[in-house]
């Protein structure tokens, strides 16, 4: 691995990228060209798909959504992950690929507020050596091959029996962005979090997921939905819980617990190896997700922002906060 080069993959080569991605053990849907295209349509910006080549062989890369602010090219983050993908190899060869990619991104003068990597990317030494910032957050990962109902805590099993008595049922249904949006908004509101994703943006992303997505809905005995979750996957190694929400009534009936137990069993039956629960950094959220027998796992992100950009972003955030305050009065 002595002749590494980086070049942009144009749209005509996107299928090649997605085919290569499907062969990678930890290739995720968040790196796919179709996901990049959907994010650009939903949030704006233009795609930049960078591939690292060893001669003619593709050995790594990253899919980026770029917005141009005058002469500045800013990488906009995805929902959940925006990972760098590197082919299987020795630690030394993977570090060479990572260094080559980071050097190319620096040459392009890209402002990178954050690239959140999947949990397999733990060796990011080259990012630190190239003066990128390193940040940590957490998620919960469940190993599905060994998971059993005995791994669920006693308290959550009690809620599951409550759901059984209430005759709520969980099943896979055709994706419904409206149901998902309403429950996500309700759940975020209860936590005091403002969801920035619009209904139309969510619809674009769900439609783009196609066969790479799955929605589970819990319904009361009268058919009323009370909880839902949307998952994404690429291949059959890992599934990712992306958006979830439960109504206030659903919480009293154990709908969320019934849903997650159903999902774990369903993914097991379909042959998946891991479920990434989609983040566990918020207070209370990690504790709830760990009740189902997963492992708290660190996920790393890297960023590269000049000082002037950080200052400008701080001013922008303060102005947005002031605007919201004035709106309330």
106-129 residue pLDDT tens: 999 999 999 999 888 889 999 999
Q: Which of 204, 174, 200 is nearest to 36 (CA)?
A: 204
List pLDDT tens digits, range 151-198.
Answer: 999 999 999 999 999 999 999 999 999 999 999 999 988 888 776 789
- Three-class SS state of 298: strand
User: Rounded to an integer, what distance in angstroms lies between the CA atom of residue 71 and that of residue 73?
Assistant: 7
Question: By percentage, how much of the chain surpasses pLDDT 90?
Answer: 76
Run of H or E residues at 260? helix 255-269
User: Rounded to an integer, what distance in angstroms lies between the CA atom of residue 5 and that of residue 58?
Assistant: 10
Beta bridge partners of 303: 133
Q: Which of 141, 156, 207, 212 is nearest to 180 (CA)?
A: 207
Q: Which of 17, 56, 44 is nearest to 33 (CA)?
A: 17
- Three-class SS state of 323: helix
User: Rounded to an integer, what distance in angstroms lies between the CA atom of residue 217 and that of residue 244?
Assistant: 10
User: Rounded to an integer, what distance in angstroms lies between the CA atom of residue 268 and that of residue 101?
Assistant: 36
* Other C-beta atoms lying within 10 Å of the C-beta of residue 277: 25
Q: Which of 301, 226, 232, 235 is nearest to 263 (CA)?
A: 232
Return all residues near 309 (Cβ < 8 A) that are at least 6 apart: 72, 74, 111
The pLDDT of residue 329 is above 70: no
Q: What is the CATH number of domain 145-272?
A: 3.40.630.30
pLDDT at res. 299? 92
The pLDDT of residue 72 is above 70: yes
Hunting for tokens 């309403």 — which residue is that?
182
- In this structure, what token pair is assigned to residue 172? 């896979």
pLDDT at res. 1? 64
* For residues 6-26, average pLDDT: 94
- In this structure, what token pair is assigned to residue 164? 């059984």
* For residues 249-273, average pLDDT: 96
Give the range among 24-38, 86-100, 191-205 with minimum mean pLDDT. 191-205
Q: Is the Cβ–Cβ distance between 56 and 236 less than 8 Å?
A: no
The pLDDT of residue 37 is above 90: yes
Quote the longest CA-to-CA distance of the chain: 64
Run of H or E residues at 248? helix 248-252
Summarize the chain as % helix, strand, coil (round to 5). 45, 30, 30
Residue 296 exposure: Cα atoms within 13 Å on the Cβ side: 12
pLDDT at res. 207? 97
pLDDT at res. 316? 65
Helices (H), 65-211: 91-107, 125-129, 154-165, 177-191, 199-209
User: Rounded to an integer, what distance in angstroms lies between the CA atom of residue 225 and that of residue 231?
Assistant: 17
- In this structure, what token pair is assigned to residue 201? 């943006």
The residue that leads in pLDDT, 70 or 172, is 172
When pLDDT is cut at 50, 70 and 90, the band that residue 323 belongs to is confident
Residues carrying CATH 3.40.630.30, the chain? 4-137+299-328, 145-272
**Superfamily designation of domain 4-137+299-328:** Gcn5-related N-acetyltransferase (GNAT) (3.40.630.30)
Q: Is the Cβ–Cβ distance between 291 and 155 less than 8 Å?
A: yes
Q: Is the Cβ–Cβ distance between 83 and 31 less than 8 Å?
A: yes
* For residues 71-92, average pLDDT: 88
């Amino acid at each position: 691995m002595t002749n590494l080069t980086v070049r942009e993959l144009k749209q005509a080569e996107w299928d090649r990228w997605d085919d290569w991605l499907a062969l990678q053990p930890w290739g995720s849907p968040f790196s796919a060209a179709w996901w990049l295209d959907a994010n650009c349509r939903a949030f704006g910006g233009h795609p930049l798909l960078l591939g690292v080549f060893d001669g003619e062989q593709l050995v790594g890369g990253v899919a980026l959504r770029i917005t141009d602010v005058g002469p500045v090219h800013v990488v906009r983050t995805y929902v959940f992950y925006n990972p760098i993908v590197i082919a299987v190899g020795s630690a030394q060869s993977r570090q060479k690929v990572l260094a080559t990619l980071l050097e190319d991104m620096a040459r392009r003068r890209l402002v990178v507020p954050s690239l959140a990597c999947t949990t397999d990317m733990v060796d990011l030494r080259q990012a630190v050596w190239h003066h990128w910032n390193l940040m940590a957050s957490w998620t919960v990962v469940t190993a599905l091959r060994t998971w059993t109902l005995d791994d669920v805590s006693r308290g959550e099993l009690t809620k599951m029996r409550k759901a059984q008595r209430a005759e709520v049922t969980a099943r896979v249904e055709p994706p419904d962005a409206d149901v998902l949006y309403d429950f996500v908004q309700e759940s975020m509101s209860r936590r005091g979090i403002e969801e920035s994703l619009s209904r139309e943006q969510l619809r674009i992303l769900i439609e783009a997921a196609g066969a790479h997505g799955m929605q589970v809905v819990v319904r009361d005995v009268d058919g009323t939905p009370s909880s839902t979750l949307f998952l994404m996957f690429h291949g059959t190694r890992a599934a990712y819980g992306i958006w979830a929400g439960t109504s206030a009534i659903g919480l009293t009936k154990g709908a969320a617990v019934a849903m997650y137990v159903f999902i774990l069993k369903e993914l097991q039956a379909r042959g998946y190896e891991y479920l990434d629960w989609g983040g566990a950094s918020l207070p209370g959220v990690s504790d709830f997700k760990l009740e189902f027998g997963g492992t708290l796992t660190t996920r790393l992100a890297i960023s590269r922002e000049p000082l002037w950009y950080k200052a400008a972003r701080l001013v922008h955030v303060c102005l947005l906060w002031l605007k919201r305050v004035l709106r309330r009065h």
